[in-house]
Chain A
Amino acid sequence: MYYYLRKFIAMFFTIIIVTLITFFSFEIIPGDPVLSKLGIDADEAQIASLRAELGLDMPIPVRYIKWVGNILKGDLGESVRFSLPVYDLIKTRLPVTFSLMIISILITLAVGIPLGILSAKYNNRIGGFFINFITQIFLAIPSFWVGIMLIMIFGVILKWFSPGGYVSWSENPAESIKSVILPSVAIALPNIAIVIRYLKNSVLEQMKKDYVRMAYSKGLNSFRVMKNHVIRNAVIPVITVLGMIISSVLAGSLIVEQVFTLPGIGRLLISAIGNRDLPLVEGMILYISFTVLFINFIIDILYKFIDPRIKYD
């Protein structure tokens, strides 16, 4: 119980920090919006009435509380450029980013877990060297450059398909997956390396434990020791990196959407910054950071649920 409470308090505290930073960045630092709306010719009375209407005449702590209240009601503000609620704009872009993230994570786990286990098995001089080198390269390559290279290989040289653009799932499931598979690979690459490195160390750590020697002395062969004992224990800690992977996948998709011109939240955010649509940027930053925090919280809970031995810190 203590564990859940601590995790919950930590998340709550983080949310407070995030909202404070966002509030000051977008509501206080950019200055008084009244003057830019009314122009310099506006008289005192006009300025005062608009300030009162927007609630700008109140002290900053009161404004912060009212602002948080609006967010809690699900109101993330309104885009200047589109004159639409921020949440509605995000909602239309969400499926693209979401499918990109899901497929990236599936690729990461499907490739990373088997390779991580194999690399623990072949951790001899040549094998270990090779695995270290390859994973280091995966970690060093910028995902957007991988994206450009994939477009070059599959689009320009092999001409398998013209990359870019998005086909929705309801339109054509096969084409839909095809339109997100290359960007997903680009995003997954560094995360695959993280899983391999982490899992390799985790398996090697478990191999030293007494229960492994016990299993061998019962006469089990190494395949069964791995399958029934080691892997079960070694995979659990991978859940802790899952939180990191999800936020890295999200960060990756913000950039990679640009490479493949996918109409996801990344492109919406970048164009909002380009258009100086600050309310839209503000709403999106809040939305994205809340999502990241919530996912991290769920993973912490899940981790304890799967392995009750975990203690806080």
Chain B
Amino acid sequence: MKKNFNLIFGLSVIIFLFVFMFISLFHTPYSPTEMNIRERMQPPSAEHIFGTDQFGRDILSRVMEGSQTAFFVGFVAVSIGLIFGTFLGAVSGYFGGITDEIIMRIMDAMLAFPVILFALMFVSVFGVGIKNTIIAIGIMSVPSFARITRSGYIQHKQFDYVKSAKAMGAGPLRIMFLHILPNVISPIIVAASMGFSTAVLSEAGLSYLGLGVLPPSPSWGRMLNESQIYISKAPWFAIIPGIFITLTVLGFNFFGDGLREYADNTEK
């Protein structure tokens, strides 16, 4: 833990954003949806620290509520990737052979594909909305989990503890998920942290294009979309949501890197 700047910095940013999001569940300074034409496009001031948008809505309140969307999308998408990816990776690595070959070729095919392209295809067939955004991003995060889990299993399946479990009559499922999984969990957590960043970035991109989260759910990406025509009159409107996206991604990337360093150091 000592001197692990990445971990400490990443964790601080995540905690800050999480608290920010948590407060917004109970209280925002103004209503995020209430319009007030008289106060439209106000620069940052004591009443509105981040100013107001084209409808006079308080940007701080909207950014706060947008953080709920970002966390929700990130959390659910990563969970989808984590569950399916870990399972596929475990099966692939543990059994090897033709099963491994087929699963990994599919994973490679998915990795070669830009996330945003798949998400665009997905929403064009199944419709635009937060649910399909999450599913598409979740599906595309499966391969990174599968790869990382697989390499852990290939390494661990030859260890003595696995052999002894086998000798004691444990079935493959028991060995895979009760014996090996706890030992390979740290790279999976690292991948989850990185996956969270990717999910937040992809959601912001899709929502910016108007093909992600739809109104009335607030989204940082869509705020940027709306802000763009007002950049000469209300530059703060285009600056604030971008800072929050960057900060979230930065936090989870640093946290992931720090975690990897931490795991490497404790293993030695």
Q: Name A's B-contacting residues (CB within 8 A).
A: 10, 13-14, 17-18, 22, 25-26, 29-30, 129, 132, 136-137, 139-142, 144-145, 148-149, 151-152, 156, 243, 247-248, 250-251, 254-255, 258-259, 269-270, 272-274, 276, 278, 281, 285, 288-289, 292-293, 296
Query: Given that A250-B114, A281-B121 are contacting pairs, would A148 and B197 also be in contact in the complex, using a CB cutoff of 8 Å?
Result: no
Chain B interface size band reads 35 or more
Instruction: Among A129, A152, A250, A272, find the residue whose CB has the most chain B CB atoms closer than 10 A.
Output: A152
Whole-angstrom distance between the alpha carbons of A152 and B237 in the complex? 12
Whole-angstrom distance between the alpha carbons of A184 and B66 in the complex? 28
CB-CB under 8 A from A259, the residues of chain B are 228
Q: Which of B15-23, B25-33, B38-46, B248-256 lies at the interface with chain A?
A: B248-256
Contact of B235 with A by CB under 8 A: yes
Whole-angstrom distance between the alpha carbons of A13 and B123 in the complex? 25
- What is the chain B residue whose CB lies nearest that of A139? B253
- What is the chain B residue whose CB lies nearest that of A156? B232
CB-CB under 8 A from B114, the residues of chain A are 247-248, 250-251, 254, 292
CB-CB under 8 A from A144, the residues of chain B are 204-205, 208, 224
Contact of B242 with A by CB under 8 A: yes
Contact of B178 with A by CB under 8 A: no
Partner of B5 from the list A14, A29, A129 (CB cut-off 8 Å) is A129
Tell me whether A13 and B209 are in contact (CB under 8 A).
no
Tell me whether A17 and B250 are in contact (CB under 8 A).
no
Tell me whether A14 and B108 are in contact (CB under 8 A).
yes
Tell me whether B205 and A140 are in contact (CB under 8 A).
no
Give B150 Cβ to nearest chain A Cβ, in Å. Answer: 12
Whole-angstrom distance between the alpha carbons of A25 and B125 in the complex? 6
Whole-angstrom distance between the alpha carbons of A34 and B184 in the complex? 52
Whole-angstrom distance between the alpha carbons of A274 and B126 in the complex? 13
- What is the chain A residue whose CB lies nearest that of B101? A13
Contact of B211 with A by CB under 8 A: yes
- What is the chain A residue whose CB lies nearest that of B125? A25
Give B258 Cβ to nearest chain A Cβ, in Å. Answer: 11
Tell me whether B116 and A139 are in contact (CB under 8 A).
no
- What is the chain B residue whose CB lies nearest that of A137? B250
CB-CB under 8 A from A132, the residues of chain B are 6
Interface residues in B84-106 by Cβ distance below 8 A to A read 105-106
Give B88 Cβ to nearest chain A Cβ, in Å. Answer: 15
Tell me whether B245 and A145 are in contact (CB under 8 A).
yes
Give A48 Cβ to nearest chain B Cβ, in Å. Answer: 26
Partner of B109 from the list A13, A148, A251, A270 (CB cut-off 8 Å) is A13
CB-CB under 8 A from B115, the residues of chain A are 251
29 A-B residue pairs with CB within 8 Å: A10-B105, A13-B105, A17-B109, A18-B113, A25-B122, A132-B6, A136-B250, A136-B254, A137-B246, A139-B249, A141-B246, A142-B242, A142-B246, A142-B249, A145-B245, A151-B231, A152-B238, A247-B114, A248-B114, A251-B115, A251-B117, A254-B114, A254-B116, A255-B116, A273-B123, A281-B121, A288-B117, A292-B113, A296-B112
CB-CB under 8 A from A273, the residues of chain B are 120, 123-124, 211
Whole-angstrom distance between the alpha carbons of A276 and B125 in the complex? 9
Query: Given that A148-B228, A156-B232, A248-B114 are contacting pairs, would A255 and B205 also be in contact in the complex, using a CB cutoff of 8 Å?
Result: yes
Contact of B129 with A by CB under 8 A: no
Known: A14-B108, A136-B257, A296-B112. 6 other contacts (CB 8 A): A29-B125, A132-B6, A139-B253, A248-B114, A255-B208, A274-B211
Query: Given that A25-B125, A255-B205 are contacting pairs, would A140 and B249 also be in contact in the complex, using a CB cutoff of 8 Å?
Result: yes
